[in-house]
Structure 1
Amino acid sequence: MSLVKKFATVASGTLMSRALGFGREMLMAAALGTGPVADAFNAAFQFPNTFRRLFAEGAFNAAFVPLFAKEIETHGTEGAKRFSEEVFGVLFTALLALTIIMELSMPLIVRYLVAPGFAGTPGKFDTTVTLATIMFPYLICMSLGAMMAGMLNSLRRYFAAAVAPVFLNIILIGVLAYAWYKGSDALTVGYGLSWGVLAAGLVQLAIVWVAVRHAGISIGFRRPKMTPAVKRLLILALPAAITGGITQINQLIGTAIASAQNSAVSSLAYAC
């Protein structure tokens, strides 16, 4: 594949995702406006999104891709497969434990971290907790998907990794279109969007999983173990997480501050 074709593949996927994302935001604004359900959905979605951008797409990929590429160069496909399975075992176990803890602690997390301003409005607070509980497993899908997208890029297979993010917007646009057709109320739309986010995570993970298998690497689950390669990955990822996390933490703080004012969270989300 020529350099121009590689650039066109990635650029077209990114452009499609941005265009559909803009359309999704317009439809969400039309369906929910800046009302309490819009505030609840955007606050709830901000939390797993912050973790995704901070760890999965930022620090993790910055550390994983060079190490995976080095394994391919040094030990071939088998060595890269062994390394990816070691990382997958540790990553999946850590994500599963984190998700269980967060799901059980979601009322406290929303009250004191994500949207403390909602605590005085029981309906909005309860809706935010429920929507966040539905959407948080999205983090598992996107983190594992980011790992596999990094593998595909190292293997010079760009199409699946470029096109997978488009499906979040496609599915949410589909949810909004169906809600408009059925004449659904705002709360039903909010629940539909939350389940749509989770479904989109599963679809995106499936796309890159299949693409990795087609590229010749079938990832099996290994018992989590801190091997030297995994330790090296964590050592490299930690500084990237610290330096790259400032923007994401600022956004989370901005959402928490905005939650004190009605409609401010959704207005801030539409503005971004």
Structure 2
Amino acid sequence: MSQSPVHEKQPQEKSGAAGLLRGSTVVGGATMLSRVAGLARDMVLARFAGAGDAADAFFVAFKIPNFFRRLFAEGAFSQAFVPVLAEYRQKGGVAAARALNDRVAGALGGTLLLVTLIGVLCAPLVAGLFAFGWWWGGEAQKFALATELLRITFPYLMLISLAGFSGAILNSFDRFAIPALTPVLLNLVLIAAALLGGRWFEPPIAALAWGVLAAGVAQLLFQLPFLARHGLLPRPRWDWHYPGVRKILRLMGPAIFGVSVTQISLVLDTVLASFLPSGSVSWLYFSDRLTELPLGVFGVAVATVILPNLSRQHADGDPRRFRHTLDWALRSVTLISLPAAVALMVLAEPLLTTLFQYGRMEPRDMAMSAWSLRAYSIGLLSFMLIKVLAPGYFARQDTYTPVRFGLIAISAKMLLSLVFVIPLNHYLRLGHMGLALATACQAAINAWLLYRGLRRDDVYLPEAGWGAYLLRLALACAAMVAVLVLGLHYWPEWDQWLWWQRCWRMGVLVAAGGGAFGLALLALGLRPRHFRATS
């Protein structure tokens, strides 16, 4: 296929925080649509599967390829690929970028095919690594079901990683909307599988596994026409000796630990949760999903937009713009993460009840999920900071420093998980909540190390006004909490209402709390223009 000559000239770059805000808004809006569809999906899954053995088995079978997806599609690969692609594009133009894309497509596709074959053939071994407690504890039926489902879901890794590669190309050319909309398809397909497919499969939970596989096909095919329209569709070439491919491979190795340390810690949660009472994996899943909503909509959106910008600024040798971009990103995610974390802690059980307590879900499931949600919320700011601090290293093609920081943080997480989960004494017997709390602590350690490293190397210097900015946010959060607590005082019995009664009350609380936060910020002098000022 010949490439269209329309895009031989590089698109005009958006400059300053105004362009970053526009790009983040596009990605955030598309991701919000995806996350809303994801919440609808989880509501359907809660009604369809509940929080028992079958649900635990599916979530493990889904989490395993999803974990590797984060490494290939959103983690180590994209963080290594995007800066190298930006360098090729800046120095050699679009033709050089296309040549790199062709070689990377061949190398990535071949590697993913091999990994997928190994995963399917060795499904019992892979499932045993991630759910060791089921094998060790004699839960043979649950382990066998997880293995069976994993054989169906594992090819999702190859499909979604190639979709992630396609999205990284589009993002590098400032086409953000299509990659951000693509995850909606996963949610829609899984909803259809739960609603329509359960009656045709035995066990019924297998319908969800086949839905995951079908969603991977849909997400890859969805992006290909847009790559072709912009003349960016790769023609795979097997060339491991190509300099760009070898450079990406060098950067990928350490980046696997540096950017995906949070995902590794979540897998450790799954392993330890397999030793805990039945339902623990599902409780952690539902609480993690709510934490992922603000993280995915805002943290990932800002990180997605700043990485190609930081990469170009580094390639251009412009440290002042590089620092300004990082400062803008840190202010933006702090504006969202602080009130989101506080709101999730205050509204944990009512929110979970509104979304998930239907069908097979019981009030006890909501209470247990609420504890882990509160623990995850403590680390929400740190999760978002990692998303925007890590690109400060990867844009400069420094993948080794985040590895060192990631290993320190993950080691602390492993130690804290054992301390919080193993009943060494009565007071530290936290169960699944201990796993979530250890994850929050790990994120805080990792974020602090990344921040300190950027300051130490003089890569980032905070701009003026941070003290006053944080004080305004704290006061606005206090106003929001007062409104939410007052609302919960008058509406205490959430599990007694019908779904529509829960929904309108939750809508009122969210609107009132958000309104109080926004009005407080306006009263304290913060204006939207403060986030649009160009560098």
Query: Same fold by TM (over 0.5)?
Result: yes
Q: Distance in 1 between matches of 2:279 and 2:235?
A: 46
User: Pick from 158, 171, 176: which aligns with 2:189?
Assistant: 171
What letter matches 2:92 in structure 1?
Answer: H
| 1:6-85 equivalent positions in 2, closer than 5 A | 6-85=23-102
Q: Distance in 2 between matches of 1:133 and 1:11?
A: 33
8 Å Cα contact 2:103-2:245 kept in structure 1: yes
Q: CA deviation at 1:166?
A: 1.0
Structure-2 residue corresponding to 1:147:
165
8 Å Cα contact 2:104-2:236 kept in structure 1: no
Q: Distance in 1 between matches of 2:111 and 2:250?
A: 16
Q: CA deviation at 1:84?
A: 0.6
Q: Distance in 2 between matches of 1:85 and 1:167?
A: 26
SS of the equivalent of 2:236 reads coil
Number of equivalenced pairs:
268
Q: Distance in 2 between matches of 1:245 and 1:74?
A: 29
Instruction: Say whether 1:257 aligns with 2:275.
Output: no
Instruction: Say whether 1:266 aligns with 2:282.
Output: yes
Structure-2 residue corresponding to 1:110:
127
8 Å Cα contact 2:201-2:207 kept in structure 1: no
Q: CA deviation at 1:186?
A: 8.2
Between stretches 132-141 and 253-262, larger displacement belongs to 253-262
8 Å Cα contact 2:77-2:252 kept in structure 1: yes
Q: CA deviation at 1:231?
A: 1.1
Q: CA deviation at 1:217?
A: 2.0
Instruction: Say whether 1:242 aligns with 2:257.
Output: yes
Query: Higher relative CO (CA 8 A, sep ≥ 6), structure 1 or 2?
Result: 1
The 1:179–1:140 alpha-carbon spacing in structure 2 relative to 1, beyond 3 Å, is closer
Q: CA deviation at 1:178?
A: 1.9
Q: Distance in 2 between matches of 1:156 and 1:258?
A: 40
Q: Distance in 2 between matches of 1:6 and 1:97?
A: 36
8 Å Cα contact 2:44-2:191 kept in structure 1: yes
Q: Distance in 1 between matches of 2:194 and 2:280?
A: 22
SS of the equivalent of 2:203 reads helix
What letter matches 2:238 in structure 1?
Answer: R
Deviations 1:8-63 (A, max 9, x none): 32111110111111111121111111111101000111111111112320111111
Of Structure 1 and Structure 2, the greater helix share is in 1
Structure-2 residue corresponding to 1:99:
116
Runs of 4+ in 1 over 3 A off after TM superposition: 1-8
Between stretches 49-58 and 3-12, larger displacement belongs to 3-12
8 Å Cα contact 1:32-1:186 kept in structure 2: no
8 Å Cα contact 1:37-1:186 kept in structure 2: no
| 1:96-245 equivalent positions in 2, closer than 5 A | 96-111=113-128, 113-119=129-135, 120-179=138-197, 187-188=203-204, 190-245=205-260
Q: Distance in 1 between matches of 2:213 and 2:197?
A: 17
TM-score scaled by structure 1?
Answer: 0.92
Deviations 1:45-99 (A, max 9, x none): 1111111112320111111112112222222222111101111111111111111
8 Å Cα contact 1:31-1:186 kept in structure 2: no
SS of the equivalent of 1:156 reads coil
Q: Distance in 2 between matches of 1:56 and 1:173?
A: 23
What letter matches 1:248 in structure 2?
Answer: Q
Q: CA deviation at 1:103?
A: 1.2
Instruction: Give ranges in structure 1 of 5+ residues lacking alignment.
Output: none
SS of the equivalent of 1:187 reads coil
Structure-1 residue corresponding to 2:297:
none
Q: Distance in 1 between matches of 2:240 and 2:201?
A: 48
Between stretches 165-174 and 115-124, larger displacement belongs to 115-124
Q: Distance in 2 between matches of 1:71 and 1:208?
A: 23
8 Å Cα contact 1:141-1:202 kept in structure 2: yes
Percentage of matched positions with identical amino acids: 36
Q: Distance in 2 between matches of 1:225 and 1:262?
A: 46
Report the RMSD for the aligned CA atoms in angstroms: 1.9
Q: Which entry has the higher C-alpha Rg, 1 or 2?
A: 2
